[in-house]
Amino acid sequence: MHPILFIVFLPLLAAIVGGFINKSAPSVVAKSITTGALFISCALSWPVFIGFWLGDSTATVVPVLQWMQSGDLAFDWALRVDTLTAVMLVVITTVSALVHLYSWGYMEEDPDQPRFFAYLSLFTFAMLMLVTADNLVQMFFGWEGVGLASYLLIGFWFKKPSANAAAIKAFVVNRVGDLGFMLGIFGTFLVFDTVSIPEILEAAPSMSGATIGFLGYRVATMDVLCILLFIGAMGKSAQLGLHTWLPDAMEGPTPVSALIHAATMVTAGVFMVCRLSPMFETAPVALGVVTFIGAATCIFAATVGTTQWDIKRVIAYSTCSQLGYMFFAAGVGAYGAAMFHLFTHAFFKALLFLGAGSVIHAMHHEQDMRYYGALRKEIPLTFWAMMAGTLAITGVGVLYVFGFAGFYSKDAILEAAFARGTEMSMFAFWMGAVAALLTSFYSWRLMFLTFWGKPRWADSEHIQHAVHHGHDEPEDHNPAVQEDAGHDVTHAVPSPNYEAGTGGYHPHESPLSMLIPLGILSIGAVFAGFVFKDAFIDGADFWDGSIYFNENLIHALHNVPYWVKLTATFVMLIGLAIAWLAYIKDTTIPAKGAEQLGPIYRFFYNKWYFDELYHYLFIVPAFWLGRQFWKLGDVGTIDRFGPNGVAWVVEKGSVGAKKFQTGYLYSYALVMLLGLVAAVTWVLF
């Protein structure tokens, strides 16, 4: 029996068992079953990946069952195993297994742990179904599966209104993208008469230049199909326009954030574009759209990330930005570089999220970085783990010597964009370079606010102020803090979670179940780029046809000017210097900068006002339309002529009619006589 069957279906079995156990047995039973199943899947995934890496394995398809046949549409449930699948298998199962283990410590006090672990395993199964799909319908099954699981996990704390709202928002925004994806699948079947991915990719080059009727115009067939499919990717991978759900997804427990942002849902769109790369290569307009949206998302999310105070939201916008890198890499044709960044990003982003969770755990669930400071001595293991993640995401390294994970993957993307040489690719290159500077700034800003400076959780003067006056939640409910978002961080008021009468916070290192995943992910953040760079970027034999591989672009990538190779390192150093100057050297600079920039700062801080724009464009009209249907349709029409109309007449008529039911014979005889007279009169006249 092929190991892929165990890899895919063990998480499903664990989710079912864990879900049915729920509270009928101790939580440790469900946790052990689900975590054990994921570690087995992970242990089986790495040999599959290493086999492709060493060139000892070949692509194969493992049939599961005959699924569906309707007219010309027929497809089976089969699991495709090739290099692209193998890469995703190790990413998904490794991060998911470590998230399961981490959750033992993080969710220790939660009464609904079996349900949480069952949801995690269900999420993993859905993503594994997506990446092993041999046809588009099976991919859509996994695609919707991760959407369902994300809804369940984001809204896991369902008694919290903000968590419910965030879950609904994620579900609804993704439905918008999924409409495009469904239309793309329908159109692909219409054009190719099949949903089999290998058959579609084999036939795609022959459709280059063909046109199709769409919205009353003749347009390029492949451009339409690929743009529709990419709209689905925009929703799942939170690209500009359909990104608004991603920051709000932080309402779920931190392990959920790590799983969604590092290894599963948000990478589904990148995977889909790379899987269908031969299709996209026949659609130059669609590739231009992918490049532009990716580059725009990259710079948008980076600007917003520089102004946020919630530690998880900073990392969330970082995810959004890094996904932009992956998409514009695919847009310029460097699919190997896109997948390489997906691979390295999984390690350092999971590390940063779980590290942030460790900080939050140490700080009694406080997430506002203004209430942190000087934690490197209090939680040193968490500090060094997050340092490894920060060095990886900012791309620290020495050319031709050694670099952390992001040093190789991000540099390869920028070099590919420059090497492509088109106007759109050059736009992506410069946007990527600016975003790399901002990434360095907000990443080191996070580190300096959290681990250096003054311990703002232990300032006795401000503690007295908090004890006597109290404070609302800073991010969501305190207008003063909202308006003064750029204030001097050395004078932040104490957290509302300050424990009166205890002497303030007592930061503590996380338990071993949380620290072990941090240690393992740190190894990936440090070495994943150095070890696998040649295979992912240059390895035509490694990819073995699982993605479109442009050898001319890769050759040009290695021969870009020397200043292009140094660009990422140069802007990283600038970002580091600005962050050090503003948050270590002179901590009054952020407040002064926010005041001087004024509208620009507020524009970035309020996330480019996308939420407000969508509120007035879509939500307000939708509520107005709903009220009209309610008042005019439901109350004014249905109720008026239904319960309050015909039904009212029947009710009143029955009251009058029952008066004739007297029980006396002469009354009934009179009625019969009157009826007879009426009938005769009608006939005669």
Q: What is the pLDDT of residues 544-562, one digit of tens each?
A: 889 999 999 999 999 999 9
- Give the separation between CA 527 and CA 537, rounded to whole angstroms: 16
Q: With contact defined as beta carbons under 8 Å apart, do 156 and 253 qualify? A: yes
pLDDT per residue as tens digits for the range 628-685: 888 888 887 877 777 777 777 887 788 777 776 777 787 778 888 888 999 999 888 7
- Give the separation between CA 635 and CA 132, rounded to whole angstroms: 50
Q: Would you call 213 helix, strand, or coil by DSSP? A: strand
Per-residue pLDDT for 84 more than 90?
yes
Q: With contact defined as beta carbons under 8 Å apart, do 453 and 373 qualify? A: yes
Structural Rg of the chain based on CA atoms: 30
Residue 584 one-letter amino acid: I
Polymer length in residues for the chain: 685
- The single residue listed with the structure tokens 């916008």 is 317
pLDDT of residue 346: 92
Token pair for 578: 């600005």
Token pair for 453: 């400076």
pLDDT of residue 186: 93
Q: Would you call 86 helix, strand, or coil by DSSP? A: helix
Q: With contact defined as beta carbons under 8 Å apart, do 338 and 409 qualify? A: no
- The single residue listed with the structure tokens 């692209």 is 84
| Lowest-confidence segment of 195-199, 489-493, 502-506, 590-594 by average pLDDT | 489-493
Mean pLDDT calculated for residue range 191-212 = 90
- Give the separation between CA 582 and CA 579, rounded to whole angstroms: 5
pLDDT of residue 468: 38
pLDDT per residue as tens digits for the range 294-306: 999 999 999 999 9
Q: With contact defined as beta carbons under 8 Å apart, do 381 and 518 qualify? A: yes
- Give the separation between CA 181 and CA 207, rounded to whole angstroms: 20
**Percentage with pLDDT > 70 across the chain:** 93
Q: With contact defined as beta carbons under 8 Å apart, do 180 and 231 qualify? A: yes
Say which residues have a Cβ less than 8 Å from residue 496's Cβ, sequence separation at least 6. 466, 470, 471, 472, 473, 474
Per-residue pLDDT for 174 more than 50?
yes
How far are the Cα atoms of 44, 77, 143, 173, 454 from residue 6, in angstroms, in the given order? Answer: 8, 15, 20, 33, 51
Q: With contact defined as beta carbons under 8 Å apart, do 221 and 295 qualify? A: no
State which H helix or E strand residue 195 sits in: none
- Give the separation between CA 287 and CA 330, rounded to whole angstroms: 8
Per-residue pLDDT for 123 more than 90?
yes
Q: pTM value? A: 0.87
**Percentage with pLDDT > 90 across the chain:** 58
pLDDT of residue 505: 56
Task: Determine the Cα angle at 389 with ends 385 and 394, to 5°.
Answer: 150
- Give the separation between CA 284 and CA 331, rounded to whole angstroms: 9
User: Nearest-CA neighbor of 255 among 104, 447, 45?
Assistant: 104
Say which residues have a Cβ less than 8 Å from residue 268's Cβ, sequence separation at least 6. 127, 130, 142, 143, 146, 233, 236, 237
State which H helix or E strand residue 321 sits in: helix 311-331
Domain ranges of the chain: 611-684
pLDDT bin (cut points 50, 70, 90) of residue 458 is low
Token pair for 458: 């232990």
- Give the separation between CA 235 and CA 244, rounded to whole angstroms: 9
- Provide the 8-state DSSP code for 308: -
pLDDT of residue 469: 40
- Give the separation between CA 315 and CA 266, rounded to whole angstroms: 14
More confident residue, 492 or 468: 492
Q: Please, what is the end-to-end C-alpha distance for the chain in angstroms? A: 92
- Measured in whole angstroms, the distance separating CA 395 from the mean position of its chain's CA atoms is 22
User: Nearest-CA neighbor of 279 among 337, 194, 342?
Assistant: 194
pLDDT of residue 55: 85
User: Nearest-CA neighbor of 669 among 240, 497, 369, 677?
Assistant: 677
- Provide the 8-state DSSP code for 79: E
